Amino acid sequence: MNARLQCIACEKNFPIDEIRYTCDCGNLLSVERDAIGVGRDVFDARRASRKLIDQSGVWRFREAVLDVADIVTHPEGGTRLYERGGIFFKHEGENPTGSFKDRGMTVAMTQAKRLGARAVACASTGNTSASLAAYAAQAGLRAIVFIPSGKVAAGKLAQTLAYGATALAVRGDFDAAMRLVREACDRLGIYLVNSINPFRIEGQKTIVWELLQDLEWSAPDWIVVPAGNLGNTSAFGKALREAHGAGWIDRLPRLAAIQASGANPFFRSFREAFAQRHRVSAETIASAIRIGDPVSYEKAVGAIRATNGVVEQVTDEELMAAKREIDAMGIGCEPASATTLAGVRKLKTSGVMRDGEQIVCVLTGHILKDPDAILKGVGSIEIEPTIEAVEKALTMSPRA
């Protein structure tokens, strides 16, 4: 395997199997390889294969992800691409645990096993923890998750516990939980599988590759992604750089990363041409992205710059209106995912996105992840068990 860990700033190299998440200079690490060797034909042929490893929308691209024999896979990926009203939606909520996190987790958990880890941990707003818990259960590893107390959506917390993880509800926000898990992993020798772990990024790249494959390798004009801890934005930038470098696509789509306006440190930096990094105290109904100090900031800046991308912000009202629209299409998603459509609306109004451009929104989480966000706005009509009550409720008269 020609892969190595490389610092994104000073480019110092480390062996691929060294347990470390940052360089000696403090910056993040990235998995880099000299050449990929296979390309579109191989990936397309695998799509028709019945082997589990080829069926996985992650391991189908294994030479460009992590080329090892023993993998922990559900399988994952293979999500649908919908077209509605001229916009494409890649629904990553269709992954085994209902979010895109499974694509990163299958790779991080495969690496955890290779490294002989006995326990794995993450800080999470809920989706990473559910994914970690499921993959750790499959791998036979102890799962420990650090979650912001009282701030995780019901579906995610229930899943995490059901799969058997130990959940530590930290009295503090996600950013506090993130700081604590890093310290705990260092001190207690636990393998950290947040997106600061470069193997998570390798798996999440395949969201972009699979959607390019769905589009028969014709690059769209825009790929739109919700932005929280900025792992996905980073992964998308790397995926596009590698796909373009390998000649799988002949032009680079632009990335649009969308934040909630109450959790917008990346947007603030973008507005100042990334002159400085911001940290905010985050608040938004989209609890998945209630993050004020994203760990993958530097990588994400690189992704936006390299793709001539943009960062936009949307209010809770705007993202919830977009969620109702996506739900009413019969597709549905959790609130954070709907920042994408809300962002598209705003970027079209401001003229950044133009008519006729092909846009792919990545829906990151399943509609059932956050039932409370739905039930605040709608309810069923309670009736007596009589036909009169049905008629009255439906305000329909009997057929003449």
Strands 4-7 and 13-14: antiparallel
CA distance 125 to 364: 13
Strands 81-84 and 359-363: unpaired
Distance of closest approach, residue 208 Cβ to ligand F0G, in angstroms:
13
291, 174 contact by CB (below 8 A) = yes
224, 333 contact by CB (below 8 A) = no
Q: Which is nearer to ligand F0G, 36 or 190 (CB)?
A: 190
Q: Which is nearer to ligand F0G, 159 or 229 (CB)?
A: 229
Distance of closest approach, residue 47 Cβ to ligand F0G, in angstroms:
26
Secondary structure class of 314 (helix, strand, coil): strand
Q: Which is nearer to ligand F0G, 43 or 100 (CB)?
A: 100
| Centroid of chain to Cα 256 | 14
CA distance 223 to 351: 16
Distance of closest approach, residue 152 Cβ to ligand F0G, in angstroms:
9
Strands 13-14 and 166-170: unpaired
Q: Which is nearer to ligand F0G, 55 or 234 (CB)?
A: 234
146, 177 contact by CB (below 8 A) = yes
Show the beta-strand stretches assigned E in 261-309. Answer: none
Q: Which is nearer to ligand F0G, 36 or 263 (CB)?
A: 263
367, 333 contact by CB (below 8 A) = yes
- Cβ atoms within 10 Å of 36's Cβ, excluding its own: 18
Q: Which is nearer to ligand F0G, 122 or 353 (CB)?
A: 122
CA distance 251 to 117: 40
Distance of closest approach, residue 233 Cβ to ligand F0G, in angstroms:
6
CA distance 98 to 342: 21
Distance of closest approach, residue 156 Cβ to ligand F0G, in angstroms:
7
Element (H, E) at 32: strand 29-32
Distance of closest approach, residue 29 Cβ to ligand F0G, in angstroms:
17
Distance of closest approach, residue 263 Cβ to ligand F0G, in angstroms:
10
Q: Which is nearer to ligand F0G, 6 or 229 (CB)?
A: 229
Show the beta-strand stretches assigned E in the chain. Answer: 4-7, 13-14, 29-32, 81-84, 87-91, 119-123, 142-148, 166-170, 191-192, 222-226, 254-260, 310-314, 359-363
Distance of closest approach, residue 124 Cβ to ligand F0G, in angstroms:
3
Write the CB contacts of 208 (distance below 8 Å, at least 6 apart in sequence).
223, 235, 236, 239, 240, 243
Q: Which is nearer to ligand F0G, 126 or 309 (CB)?
A: 126
DSSP bridge pairs for 62: none
Distance of closest approach, residue 128 Cβ to ligand F0G, in angstroms:
4
Binding residues (CB under 6 A) for ligand F0G: these are: 99, 101, 124-128, 195, 226-233, 288-289, 334, 336-337, 364-365
Q: In degrees, to the nearest 5, what angle opens at C-alpha 356 toward C-alphas 351 and 358?
A: 95
User: Which residue is associated with the tokens 């077209």?
Assistant: 83
Write the CB contacts of 299 (distance below 8 Å, at least 6 apart in sequence).
8, 28, 30, 201, 230, 233, 234, 237, 238
Distance of closest approach, residue 285 Cβ to ligand F0G, in angstroms:
13
Distance of closest approach, residue 206 Cβ to ligand F0G, in angstroms:
14
Cis peptide before 75 (omega within 30 of 0): yes
Q: Which is nearer to ligand F0G, 217 or 274 (CB)?
A: 274
Q: Which is nearer to ligand F0G, 56 or 131 (CB)?
A: 131
Q: Which is nearer to ligand F0G, 125 or 264 (CB)?
A: 125
